[in-house]
Amino acid sequence: MILVKTEAGHQALKDRSVPLSPRQRSAFILFDGKRSVDDVLAAGMGIAREDIDQMIALGVLEPVGGQPASPAAGDASTEGTKPTAQAVPPPSGRSKQQRYKDAYPIATQLTGSLGLMGFRLNLQVEGTASYDDLLALAPKIRAAVGAERAAALDKALND
């Protein structure tokens, strides 16, 4: 499957309005409408299929010509939220990967709103690569923004 940046994706690349992890951002640049998903995965950027599925779900990538996604990747035309067969979370709740994907944008928004005082904390958030990394950083975020503002982050990490 070949993906291309959407208009929203081009805008997000300029103004960072859509929170992408550093790895996603690097891989996002490679989606030029010529490289296949497999080519980007093989480029050695440390990106996983789930990261690409998330970028489709965020609306920054779409299949070339609006073609439906390959069966292995789910149907991107229906909101792009169906993960690959290997990434289906257990029926009892969300996987750690899904919790990370849900919590990461909240954490970057909270730390980004702190301005210069939160710059280092924001860099630490952007440096996280897993649920466990973000969970370990959550107390610092909570201390910086307050328990009330951090409630959404806690919910994304723990529910």
Q: What is the pLDDT of residue 85?
A: 36
The Cα–Cα gap between 18 and 59 comes to 9
Q: What is the pLDDT along the chain (159 residues), one digit of tens a residue?
A: 888 888 888 887 778 777 778 888 888 888 888 888 888 888 877 788 888 888 888 888 888 876 544 434 443 333 444 333 333 333 347 788 888 888 999 998 888 888 887 888 888 988 888 888 899 999 999 998 888 998 999 888 887
Q: What is the pLDDT of residue 83?
A: 38
Instruction: Determine the distance from the C-alpha atom of residue 113 to the mean position of all C-alpha atoms in its chain, rounded to a whole number.
Output: 19
Q: What is the pLDDT of residue 79?
A: 41
Q: What is the pLDDT of residue 7?
A: 85
Is 61 in contact with 31 (CB distance < 8 Å)? yes
Domain ranges (residues) in the chain? 2-87, 96-158
Q: What is the pLDDT of residue 75?
A: 39
Q: What is the pLDDT of residue 9?
A: 82
Q: What is the pLDDT of residue 66?
A: 61
pTM above threshold 0.75:
no
Question: Which residues neighbour 100 within 8 Å (Cβ) at sequence distance 6 or greater?
Answer: 128, 130, 131, 134
